[in-house]
Amino acid sequence: MVPWLAAFALVFVAFLPGTARAADGVFGTSAFQLASLDGPTEWRRVLAAIADERRRYVACDRDRALCGSKGLVAWRGLIAELRGKRRTAQVVAVNAFFNASRYIPDQVNWGRSDYWATPLEFFRRSGDCEDYAIVKYVTLRELGFAPEDLRIVVLRDTKRDVVHAVLSLATGDGYQILDNLYADVLNDRRLDSYVPYYSVNEESRWVHAAPRQERIAGIERAVRPAAQQRLAHDRR
């Protein structure tokens, strides 16, 4: 990102609290809740598709012969097996179950740079990072987890310098992260290279920014070189 654009982005976020409600967010950020789900079109599309798929889930639960795929049979069996177990055990099992699937980039799977898959599509083709997060989200919702505790987080992994997506679960000890890159469910404090852009659940969406003092320092770092260059020019 060029310096002036970085400065613009930081200034934009700095004024965001006037139009959105701020709260402590995952990965040590401030999270600003927006008024609606308008924005991430892939998420809105996949939510509608999942709503249409639910009749398949119900039919499969009634009669395994109606499932139509081994993946769906295994998934519904996992949910039935985990019902009534401790939440920690459920979360660990869900993360491990889906992380056993092979990672396949959207360009290979769908011939496009970004595509968010439903659970049934995931069982047919597997998927990439956001697809793991989506199917884990739907599974935990099926197990009774509240939507307000769950968010799909789109972020930058600064160590790998790539955009990534994970599922976060709010707990009494911060946020637990279900990540296709890690076998273990990790507390967000252990993932210091993750910088979130935005997060979503079925009810709302949030944009994320560093705490206020860090944002101010970031603005100063971005603006200072241009200001110094202008001052040097004026002194000539």
Please tell me the distance from the alpha carbon of residue 73 to that of residue 61, in angstroms, as a whole number: 9
Find the DSSP H helices in the chain: 3-15, 41-62, 70-82, 87-99, 106-110, 119-125, 129-142, 212-235
User: Given this model, what pLDDT does residue 139 score?
Assistant: 98
Closest by CA position to 94, among listed 195, 180, 31? 180
Chain centroid to Cα 135, Å, comes to 12
Give pLDDT tens digits for 132-190. Answer: 999 999 999 999 999 999 999 999 999 999 999 999 999 998 999 999 999 999 999 99
User: Given this model, what pLDDT does residue 229 score?
Assistant: 53
Q: Which residue in this structure is represented by tokens 């609606």?
A: 36
Locate the domains of the chain by residue range.
37-203
DSSP secondary structure letter of residue 127: B
For the domain bounded by 37-203, which CATH number is listed? 3.10.620.30
Give the strands of the sheet with 21-24, arranged side by side: 21-24, 30-33, 205-209, 194-200, 150-157, 162-171, 174-178, 186-187
Return the ∠ at Cα 88 (arms to 87 and 92), rounded to 5°: 115
DSSP string, 7-44: HHHHHHHHHGGGTSEEEE-GGG-EEEE-SSS-S-HHHH
User: Given this model, what pLDDT does residue 224 score?
Assistant: 52
User: Given this model, what pLDDT does residue 11 score?
Assistant: 39
162 sits in the region (left: phi over 0; alpha: psi -120 to 50; else beta) called beta
Residue 152 in 3-state DSSP? strand
User: Given this model, what pLDDT does residue 41 score?
Assistant: 87
pTM of the entire structure? Answer: 0.82
User: Given this model, what pLDDT does residue 35 score?
Assistant: 79
Q: Is the dihedral of CA 115, 121, 125, 128 positive or negative?
A: positive
Residues lower than pLDDT 50 in the chain: 1-19, 213, 215-220, 222, 227-228, 230-235
What are the tokens at 176? 């637990």
